[in-house]
Amino acid sequence: MEEEKQEKRQTKPIRCIVKLGGAAITCKSELEKINEENLKIVSSQLRQAMVLGQSPSTKVLGMDWSKRHGRSEVSCSVDDFGYDAIIDSSRFIVVHGAGSFGHFQACKSGVHKGGLDQPLVKAGFVATRISVTALNLEIVRALAREGIASVGMSPFSCGWSTCERNIASADLSIVAKAIDSGFIPVLHGDAVFDGLQGCTILSGDVIIRHLAEQLKPEYVVFLTDVLGVYDRPPVDPNAVLLREIAVREDGNWSVVKPVLQNSNKVETTVAAHDTTGGMSTKITEAAMIARLGIDVYIVKAATSHSLMALSGELRSNIPDDWLGTLIRFVS
Q: Which residues are annotated as a binding site for ATP?
A: 99, 225, 278, 282
- Please state the separation of Cα 323 from the chain's center in Å: 19
Closest among 62, 52, 83, 91 to 177, alpha carbons compared = 91
Closest among 132, 318, 309 to 222, alpha carbons compared = 309
Residue 220: φ, ψ to 5°: -130, 140
Closest among 60, 84, 76 to 147, alpha carbons compared = 60
Q: Which residue ranges are tagged as binding site? A: 98-99, 103, 204, 225, 278, 282
Residue 318: φ, ψ to 5°: -110, 110
Q: How far apart are the first and last CA of the chain?
A: 31
Q: How far apart are CA 297 and CA 318, in angstroms?
A: 11
Burial of 89 (0-12, 13-18, 19+ CB in 10 A): buried
- Asked whether the beta carbons of 246 and 325 are under 8 A apart, the reply is no
Q: Which residue ranges are tagged as binding site for substrate? A: 98, 103, 204
Alpha-helical segments (H) within the chain: 2-7, 22-25, 36-50, 103-109, 119-145, 173-180, 204-215, 278-290, 304-311
> How many Cβ atoms from other residues are within 10 Å of residue 55's Cβ?
7
Please, what's the b/e burial string for 104-123 (b: 16 or more CB within 10 A of its CB; e: otherwise)? bbbbebebbbbbeeeeebbe
Query: What is the number of alpha carbons within 13 Å of residue 318 lying toward its C-beta?
Result: 18
